[in-house]
Amino acid sequence: MRTPLLALVALASGCVINSDKWPRPRDLTPDWEVSETRILGIRADPPEIRPGDTVAFDALFGAPPGSDGEVGDNGIPADRSVLWLACPVDDEGNGFGCLTDLGDVDLATADPADLASLGFVGFEPGLAPSYTAPADLLDGLDEQARLEGRYVLVQLLAFPTALLQDPDALANLDFSVVVSAYKRLVVSDAPTPNHNPDIGVFVVDGLPIPPGAVVTVEPDQRYDLSVALPEGAIESYDYENSDGVVEQRVEEPYASWYTTGGEMLEEVTLWPRLEATWQAPKETLDRGFWYIVLRDRRGGVSWYTQEFTIGRPTGR
């Protein structure tokens, strides 16, 4: 009698068999958590160019302080090399930009001109990425299409520097160890080309933080993070719609928030609410970073990195 009763109780209480070892959705690493080397943004300066113009690129890498991939003063992870490629998106709808097979290239000995012909526009550390749009890129397009422009797809691969010593590994890249990203560069004849937005001041709990300062916070506390944009950071521009009517539009940027420690209660906020709440971890922490990336939806990007340290509680 006792065994059936126990079985009945077990059934009635609801139980999972087959050792539920599988992770649950709540166990997935959230987007705001920088727990390993990541690309958080790619910037073209300027973000929109005309044919024949030259543009410079850079990327925001995030990595936990003290990790092998900690970002150095040069802006790239210490253990990685970064390869930049840029190719126009072709008229056939190929949205993949450069279809370069790294197995065909010996990065150590290749001629710069050959590399350029394959779409290589930068290699870091060493060669800062830049790109000059072909002067004839918009040839053949009608006036409306030239105003709208064409995309140049900018790709970057951040792979372990150690792979440079192993051509085979480089030729057969294991994407589980490679961090890759891409961005669209607009090349057009637009009369009001876009600009990257400015981030004026980083603000913690209403206090503007001077550039370069390290913010000391207390464990297990919540802080309101925000950015204050300077005057004119939100651009107005003209857009000719499909009916031929020119509209004046205003940018509506959004902010993506990241941290190497603690918890971001919002990971994306929309203009005009460029603020987020951050929950400090319960333990002290020597170094940590907040990252905010601001996108204007037209290709313009800016970011801000703020270092923090978590000291002992002071009874705040």
Partner 1 sequence: MLAALMALALPARAQPAPEPDPGAPAEEPALVAGPAIAAYVEAPYPPEAEAAGIEGTVKLRISLSAAGEVDEVEVIEPAGHGFDEAAVDAVLAMEWTPARTAEGPVPVVFDFDYGFVLREQAPTPDPAAPLPVNLDGELVEMATRDPIAGAVVTVTAVDGQPVDAEALPGAELSAQTDEQGRFALRGVPTGQAHLTVRHVGHVSEERDVEVVEGQATTLKLWMRAEAYRDNEIVALYDRPQDEVTRRTITIDEVKRIPGTFGDPVKVIQTLPGAARTPFGTGLLVIRGADPEDSGVYIDGIRIPLIYHLTGTTSVLSPDLIEAVDYLPGGYGVQFGRTMGGTVNVRTKTTFDQDEIVWGTDILDSQIYYQGHPDKKDKHGLAIGFRRSYIDLFIPLFLGNTDYVLKPRYWDYQLKWIPELPHDEFSVFVYGFDDLLRVATPADVAQGSDQDTQGALAVRYNSHRALVRWMHPFSERLSMELLPSVGIDSGETGLGQDFGLRSTNLLTQLRGQLSWTPFPELEVVPGTDVLGGVWGFDFLSAINIEAIDDPLAERERVQFSGNGALLSPDVFLRANLRPLDHGSERLLISPGVRANLVGFTTRGELAGTEPLPPTLDASLDPRILGRWQVVEDQFALKAATGLYNQPPQPQEALGVGTGATTSFERSWSTTFGWEQRLTPAIHYDVDLFYRQMDRLIVFDEAWTGFGSNPFVNGGAGRAYGLEIMARHDPVGPFFGWVSYTLSRAARRDPYVCTEGDPSDENLLLGTGPCWYRFDFDQTHIFSAQAGYDLPFDFGISAQVQYVTGNPASLYDTGVYDADSDFYNPFRVGQINEDRLPPYFQTSLRFDKLWTFRTWQLDTYVDLLNAVRGVNAEFTLYNFDYTEAAYLRGLPFIPNIGIEAKFYP
Contacts with partner 1 by CB under 8 A lie at 10-18, 20, 22-25, 27-31, 38-39, 41-42, 59, 96, 151, 175-176, 179-184, 186, 239, 241-242, 249, 252, 254, 256, 266, 268-271, 273, 293, 295, 297-299, 301
Choice between 80 and 310, CB closer to partner 1: 80
301/312 Cα distance (integer angstroms):
36
Cβ 212 to partner 1 shortest distance, Å: 26
> Chain centroid to CA 283: how far?
28
Choice between 70 and 266, CB closer to partner 1: 266
Choice between 130 and 309, CB closer to partner 1: 130
Cβ 46 to partner 1 shortest distance, Å: 14
Overall residue count recorded for the chain in this entry: 316
Cβ 110 to partner 1 shortest distance, Å: 24
3-state DSSP call for residue 280?
A: coil
- The answer to whether the beta carbons of residues 106 and 112 sit under 8 Å apart is no
Choice between 262 and 299, CB closer to partner 1: 299
Cβ 254 to partner 1 shortest distance, Å: 5
245/225 Cα distance (integer angstroms):
40
- The enclosing H or E element of 3 equals helix 2-13
Cβ 214 to partner 1 shortest distance, Å: 27
Choice between 107 and 181, CB closer to partner 1: 181
Q: Long-range contacts made by residues 172-177, C-beta under 8 angstroms, separation at least 24?
A: 172/103, 173/102
- The answer to whether the beta carbons of residues 182 and 156 sit under 8 Å apart is yes
- The enclosing H or E element of 216 equals strand 215-217
Give Rg (Cα) of the chain: 24
Cβ 132 to partner 1 shortest distance, Å: 21
Choice between 218 and 266, CB closer to partner 1: 266
58/131 Cα distance (integer angstroms):
12
